[in-house]
A and B are shown apart, each in its own frame.
Chain A
Amino acid sequence: MSTTDTIENTGATHSHGSHGHGSYLTSSKGLLSWAFTLDHKRIGLMYLCSVVLFFIVAGVLALGVRLELMTPAGDTFSPDTYNKMFTLHGAIMIFLFIIPSIPASLGNIVLPLMLGAKDVAFPRLNLASFHIYVIGACFLLYSLLAGGIDTGWTFYTPYSSESGTAVVSALLGAFILGFSSILTGMNFMVTIHKLRAPGMSWTKMPLIMWSMYGTGLMQILATPVLAITLLLLVLERTYGIGIFTPSLGGDPVLFQHFFWFYSHPAVYIMILPAMGVISELITVHSQKNIFGYKAIAYSSLAIAVISFLVWGHHMFVSGQSEIASAVFSFLTFAVAVPTAIKVFSWVATLYRGSIVLNTPMLYTLAFLALFTIGGLTGLFLGTLATDVHLHDTYFVVAHFHYVMMGGTFIAFLGGLHHWWPKFTGKQYNEALGRFCAVMIFLGFNVTFFSQFMLGSQGMPRRYHAYDKVSADLLPTFEMWHRTSSIGSFILGSALFIVLFYLLHSLFRGKPAAKNPWGGKTLEWQTESPPITHNFATDPVCEHGPYDFDVIEGADDHHGQAADKRG
């Protein structure tokens, strides 16, 4: 079969193909064997280390922002330093953490394993994607070291055309990172098309594949628009070619259209993989067939398509035509429906399951709560009349943190804990895991729920100080800002404990079993950690990904699941 041929061809491209039966972590040694590896698992692991590093950098910047806002006066940092801190927090979180977080790190590691493939379709391109990511990151970091950048991560013109800070290197950084994103998306799409194990039809794929497929589609189609936009802005700054700046004859609102044409689909580039992770976690840890496989699968594609048509909802007060705004508002509600279907289906999946409240499951439940709040508060912002009041206030800040952090980041943590035993071969401290999951959930809500109140009361975002507001608003602002800051310190502390016990498990953790959770998807059939070639013999897909009532013969996992119905 052509599928099998491709798998073999891919395997042959490994430089260390001759000894592909040891653990991928130790099969070859030395820095170069990592830096130039073609193994998707090693590339995924390098991505994982990079995104975690950048998360810490951007997270520390966020704590700085919260520290400043503890008190109304702008007395901790200078206004310029504060402006650079929130800009870099946003830019690093978006471009260096969230966009690559689930697809490029966890996705790279588990996608070929779950499909029963030896690697992604184009291993060299996969490595190139990582190298491009590193180059892009260097440009962004150069911006940080060359005095920072103060435009906000959205780079709105004409401010970004005239700001005296290191804007060009940051724009080039985001431009370069886009290519990394495109290559990963394309690679995953081709892999899903061509490298599924024999027997794995489209509707027998794990649902995370549908999410990754939708994500790839958006990465390929939307990212080039951002690339062109950023390049035009670089040309404008460098050569004074008037495109967006009014004094040169340009149109600043055009920039916003271009920017959001990418950046709204990008929101779904960030959340779709998280939805995929949740579909896997909720089924495995409740040993239960997914409720509404097709609805969840097709809603991923529906979200991917509709997400291209809603960018104007970021611009209701920008001066775009009233009719355009009305159309964008309507289409925004259209994207809410497939999202609602997913949430209902996940909750229904729990019905008559066998639920374990372990660390990955706690993150899954946290995701359901936080993402639901994030999604529902989107209704206030998609609605024309209420958005006018809430636009560019802390309400928006709270909303997108519930979706991006409460959604994507929590799913990332859940996925990390779920697949950690698989790709490290070690088991982390479960008690600490549960404790931190609860602390993160509480800290998160204290931090960001207070921001809904701040925003609906009128507190604008990106404010360095708020001591000059009238006495009507000041006490409210002060109370909720202080609450939010205290929450962020709880959240930050819990995250550092997570980092600690995960690293600790690498050295002192108990060896993990092949299939510690009783999962039915193919990655649980190979060793923990997997061998370099993933599977000793080519796997065959004999049942659906969530058939927890099927008894398997050859599989000797620890699973309680296998004898469940027996």
Chain B
Amino acid sequence: MAHLLTLMTGPQPEPAMWLPTAASSQAADVDGLFHFILYLCTFFFVLIMALMVYFVVKYRRKSATQKTSAVSGSHKLEIAWSVIPTLLLVVIFFWGFKGWMNLNVPPEDALEIRVLGKKWSWEFDYPYNGVSGAGELVVPVNQPVKLIMSSQDVIHSFYVPAFRIKRDVVPNRYSVLWFNPTKKGTFDVFCTEYCGTSHSQMLSRVKVVSRDDFKKWAETGGGMDGLSPVELGKKLFSSKGCVACHSITDDRMAKPGPALGKRFGKMEEMSTGEMVKVDENYVRESIRNSTAKIVKGYAPVMPPFPASSVSDRQLNALIDYIKSLK
């Protein structure tokens, strides 16, 4: 049914039934191939179902002595339905192969950005623009971008539906992905390789901006300069991935890590039974040496964040932000 529906509505400009917004130079080719296969499949599906239904209606048993045909095959027909699909499949294969090569060969002038995947956040470093540790990928429009990706722990996968690109991010090796964004806007980034508890929270965004805006963004250190400590802390809280496991309300059941809302200054019971006051030193220790003290009822799963990952200035900002969660 839905096949028929699609046939009638066709490959509309978005919002389409099948594919999301297309925002990269590769997307057009992938979408064209997708719709080619879709129409081919719809044709064969309708053909097979129409024949099936026709036979079932026409040759329905009307009497117990109804004669059936002794026909046991037809070479002509069998050759036809072997050869025709084979030829069509070869066409699909080569079209797919062409698109595949395009997806795999980045242009020479691509802007290089390093991507680090870790449980459960993405971090972006710009070797030539002086921005490091950004939590969102900001890129200029119509500029080919090459991502050099690695993982700190398990396998993740970097996926931007609007760009039709995806590549696994594997520990101990680099994987490469490239795209050329053709539309300004904000697009979802998903992790598509299952990576544990908060896999579904391992999200980020690609912001495609004008060249000028990109320059401005890079000059202000990725928008981190000139912020108040609480504002910076709020940004870091999401860019460093804290948000994947910690709720900023006081709803204890919402996420796998302790909820941080209204906690600062209160007493908290540890897994050892010890009562600890949530103050600056406790929060500092819980970030730098994350498994030193574990709040009762939670698992020791948080990775440590040494100074190489969260600087002292950033640490202060995070503490100020947590303090502000009233």
Q: Taking beta carbons and an 8 Å cutoff, which residues of A are in contact with B?
A: 74, 78-80, 83, 150, 152, 156, 158-159, 162-164, 246-247, 252-253, 286-295, 317-319, 322, 325-326, 329-330, 333, 336-337, 340-341, 343-345, 347-348, 350-357, 365, 368-369, 372-373, 376-377, 379-380, 383-389, 391-393, 445, 449, 452-453, 456-458, 460-466, 468-470, 472-473, 476, 548-549, 560, 563-565
Contacting residues, chain A, for B90 (C-beta < 8 A): 333
By Cβ-Cβ distance, the 10 closest A-B pairs, closest first, are A385-B99, A458-B161, A384-B100, A383-B96, A352-B69, A560-B64, A246-B172, A350-B55, A463-B200, A376-B41
Chain B residue nearest to A377 (CB atoms) is B41
A185 CA to B64 CA in the complex, in Å? 39
Contacting residues, chain A, for B283 (C-beta < 8 A): none
B65:A563 contact, CB within 8 angstroms: yes
- Residue-wise, chain B 158-177 has the 8 Å CB interface mask toward A (1 for contact) of 01011011111011110100
A372:B200 contact, CB within 8 angstroms: no
A352 CA to B58 CA in the complex, in Å? 8
B68:A379 contact, CB within 8 angstroms: no
A329 CA to B93 CA in the complex, in Å? 7
Contacting residues, chain A, for B78 (C-beta < 8 A): 292, 295, 341, 344-345
- A549 with B70, Cβ < 8 A, contacts A156-B155, A354-B61, A357-B56 known: yes
- A348 with B95, Cβ < 8 A, contacts A355-B55, A368-B52 known: no
**B266 at interface (Cβ–Cβ under 8 A)?**
no
Contacting residues, chain B, for A326 (C-beta < 8 A): 97, 100
Contacting residues, chain B, for A392 (C-beta < 8 A): 157, 159, 166, 192-193
Which of A384, A393, A468 is within 8 Å of B96, CB to CB? Answer: A384
Contacting residues, chain B, for A353 (C-beta < 8 A): 55, 59, 68-69
- A83 with B197, Cβ < 8 A, contacts A333-B93, A373-B45, A472-B21 known: yes
| Interface positions of B from 10 to 63, Cβ below 8 Å from A | 15, 17-21, 29-30, 33-34, 37-38, 40-41, 44-45, 48-49, 51-52, 55-56, 59-61
A346 CA to B13 CA in the complex, in Å? 39
B45:A458 contact, CB within 8 angstroms: no
Contacting residues, chain B, for A355 (C-beta < 8 A): 55-56, 59-61
A158:B85 contact, CB within 8 angstroms: no
A548:B199 contact, CB within 8 angstroms: no
A163 CA to B78 CA in the complex, in Å? 51
Separation in Å of the A162 CB from the closest CB of chain B?
A: 7
A386:B96 contact, CB within 8 angstroms: yes
B168:A470 contact, CB within 8 angstroms: no
- A83 with B81, Cβ < 8 A, contacts A392-B157, A456-B19, A457-B19 known: no
- A78 with B253, Cβ < 8 A, contacts A348-B77, A373-B45 known: yes
- A560 with B68, Cβ < 8 A, contacts A162-B154, A322-B100, A385-B95 known: no
- A383 with B37, Cβ < 8 A, contacts A293-B72, A458-B159, A469-B203 known: yes
- Please name 20 further chain A to chain B contacts, defined as beta carbons within 8 Å, in addition to the given A325-B100, A350-B52, A458-B188, sorted by A numbering: A79-B198, A79-B200, A83-B197, A83-B199, A164-B299, A319-B170, A322-B101, A329-B100, A343-B48, A350-B59, A351-B69, A351-B71, A355-B55, A355-B61, A356-B60, A377-B41, A388-B164, A457-B20, A458-B159, A461-B192
- A79 with B73, Cβ < 8 A, contacts A152-B194, A163-B196, A391-B192 known: no
How many chain B residues touch A (CB < 8 A): the figure is 96
Contacting residues, chain B, for A468 (C-beta < 8 A): 201, 203
- A293 with B52, Cβ < 8 A, contacts A380-B34, A383-B96, A472-B21 known: no
Contacting residues, chain B, for A348 (C-beta < 8 A): 74, 77
Separation in Å of the A369 CB from the closest CB of chain B?
A: 6
Contacting residues, chain A, for B270 (C-beta < 8 A): none
Contacting residues, chain B, for A289 (C-beta < 8 A): 68-72
Which of A337, A352, A383, A469 is within 8 Å of B59, CB to CB? Answer: A352
Contacting residues, chain A, for B65 (C-beta < 8 A): 560, 563-564
A350:B18 contact, CB within 8 angstroms: no
Chain B residue nearest to A462 (CB atoms) is B194
Separation in Å of the B161 CB from the closest CB of chain A?
A: 3
- A83 with B30, Cβ < 8 A, contacts A317-B157, A333-B90 known: no
Contacting residues, chain B, for A472 (C-beta < 8 A): 20-21, 187-188
**B209 at interface (Cβ–Cβ under 8 A)?**
no
Contacting residues, chain A, for B74 (C-beta < 8 A): 291, 348
Contacting residues, chain A, for B18 (C-beta < 8 A): 453, 456-457
Chain A residue nearest to B101 (CB atoms) is A322
A291:B73 contact, CB within 8 angstroms: yes
**B205 at interface (Cβ–Cβ under 8 A)?**
yes
B171:A252 contact, CB within 8 angstroms: yes
A3 CA to B31 CA in the complex, in Å? 59
Can you list 11 contacts pairing A with B, beta carbon distance less than 8 Å? A159-B154, A253-B170, A286-B59, A289-B71, A337-B86, A350-B55, A353-B68, A357-B56, A365-B52, A376-B44, A379-B40
A462 CA to B193 CA in the complex, in Å? 9
Separation in Å of the B288 CB from the closest CB of chain A?
A: 22
**B190 at interface (Cβ–Cβ under 8 A)?**
yes
Separation in Å of the A478 CB from the closest CB of chain B?
A: 14
Chain B residue nearest to A336 (CB atoms) is B89
Which of A337, A356, A469 is within 8 Å of B188, CB to CB? Answer: A469
Contacting residues, chain B, for A152 (C-beta < 8 A): 194
**B195 at interface (Cβ–Cβ under 8 A)?**
yes
Chain A residue nearest to B161 (CB atoms) is A458
Chain B residue nearest to A160 (CB atoms) is B154
A341:B66 contact, CB within 8 angstroms: no
A413 CA to B30 CA in the complex, in Å? 38
A377 CA to B92 CA in the complex, in Å? 13
- A319 with B173, Cβ < 8 A, contacts A372-B45, A383-B33, A466-B200 known: yes
**B8 at interface (Cβ–Cβ under 8 A)?**
no
**B289 at interface (Cβ–Cβ under 8 A)?**
no
B68:A388 contact, CB within 8 angstroms: no
A319 CA to B175 CA in the complex, in Å? 7
**B230 at interface (Cβ–Cβ under 8 A)?**
no
Which of A383, A463, A565 is within 8 Å of B199, CB to CB? Answer: A463
**B256 at interface (Cβ–Cβ under 8 A)?**
yes
A78 CA to B256 CA in the complex, in Å? 8
A80:B256 contact, CB within 8 angstroms: yes
Contacting residues, chain A, for B205 (C-beta < 8 A): 470
A290 CA to B78 CA in the complex, in Å? 13
Contacting residues, chain A, for B21 (C-beta < 8 A): 472
Chain B residue nearest to A373 (CB atoms) is B45
